[in-house]
Amino acid sequence: MSNPKVVVIGGGTGIPVVLKALRKEKVDLTAIVTVADDGGSSGRIRSSVSRYSIGYQVMAK
C-alpha cells in the first residue's frame, strides 16, 4: 500500500511547525506556501534585491 498523500496550504508562523512534524511521518508531502508582505523592512529588502526576504526562505525549509 502506498503512503497517504498530504497537502498543506498556508503561510505565516504555523506552517513550518506543521511541515516539520509531517516530515517525520510516512506520507507523500506537498506544501503550498503563501508569501505576503506588508511593505515593512522585509518589503524594502525584497524590492532592492528582487527576491523574497531571507525569513520566508528559511521558514519554508
The tens digit of pLDDT for each residue in 4-26 reads: 999 999 877 788 889 999 999 99
- Residue 28, C-beta contacts closer than 8 angstroms, at least 6 positions apart: 2, 3, 4, 5, 6
Confidence at residue 58, expressed as pLDDT on a 0 to 100 scale? 52
43 or 30, which is more confident:
30
Residue 57 has phi, psi (to 5 degrees) of -70, -40
Cβ proximity of 23 and 11 under 8 Å = no
pTM of the predicted structure, to 2 decimals: 0.55
Q: Would you place residue 61 in the very low, low, confident or very high pLDDT band (cuts 50, 70, 90)?
A: low
